[in-house]
A = this chain, B = another copy of it.
């Protein structure tokens, strides 16, 4: 059974459309007794970030085996991370389409984890600064680069200095510079800063005609 926790039910209009058979309760204490196969969706807009971790953790602990999904109308990454770190299994926008919510529910029900593409990229980036193929917007034309150039470009786009990139790739700093120079040339940028900006927004990369 779907259970949403929110003192003001009107904030969950989309959610109720997604789960007509679901119930909205005002407080976490009223959520007790949710059986196996249930899901708890916790609305967090009224919860301070500093309290969020404890609230989620308590809810997860009090409802062993029942996945908790956090829902917010103003989601930000820090809150998402806190929630997930405290045991939440998903983080969903309160204004997401009902179909999307049902997808989230399906994923969570099968033991999966739901994170938005944005957050996912950030999480992965924090763990390893290796590669950054982002599913959503497609990073510029990294495909126009040779594998080595691409590797260097990615290191730099994660903030690495030439020395750090060299160490990471097991080559000399000089070689990093060489690859980087080729990358600048191909993308028509003058330095690493513009490269990062170009990779952030593919539209800014000049469609450099093949010379």
The CB with the most chain B CB atoms within 10 A, among A60, A84, A202, is that of A84
Identify the interface centre among A115, A131, A147, A196: most chain B CB within 10 Å of its CB: A131
Q: Are A130 and B61 in contact (CB under 8 A)?
A: no
For the complex of A and B, the 5 pairs showing the least CB-CB separation, nearest first, are A107-B112, A112-B112, A126-B127, A126-B130, A53-B131
Most buried by B among A78, A118, A126: A126
- Which segment of A16-24, A38-46, A132-140, A178-186 sits at the interface? A132-140
Query: A112–B193 Cα gap in the complex (Å)?
Result: 33
Q: A113-B112, A120-B113 are in contact. Are A85 and B139 (CB under 8 A)?
A: no
Complex-state Cα separation, A141 to B69, whole angstroms: 24
A7 within 8 Å of B (CB atoms): no
Contact assessment for B85 and A159 in the assembled complex, using a CB-CB cutoff below 8 Å: no
A103 close to B (CB within 8 Å): yes
**Is A110 in contact with chain B by the CB < 8 A criterion?**
yes
Interface residues on A, range: 35 or more
Please determine whether A81 and B128 come into contact, CB atoms closer than 8 angstroms.
yes
**Footprint of B on A, CB under 8 Å?**
53-54, 57, 60-61, 78, 81-82, 84-87, 103-104, 106-108, 110-115, 118, 120, 122-128, 130-133, 135, 139, 143, 147, 156-159, 192-194, 196-197, 200-202
Contact call B78/A139, Cβ cutoff below 8 A? yes
A159 touches B193 (CB 8 A): yes
Which B residues are in CB contact (< 8 Å) with A84? 124
**Bound CA span A125–B201, Å:** 14
A71 CB to nearest chain B CB (Å) = 16
CB contacts (< 8 Å) of A110 on chain B: these are 103, 106-107, 112
Establish whether residues A86 and B193, one from each chain, have CB atoms under 8 Å apart when the complex forms.
Answer: no
Complex contact A130–B200 (CB within 8 A) = no
Question: Which of chain B's residues has its CB closest to A199's CB?
Answer: B200
Q: Given known contacts A106-B110, A124-B85, is B61 in contact with A133 (CB within 8 Å)?
A: yes
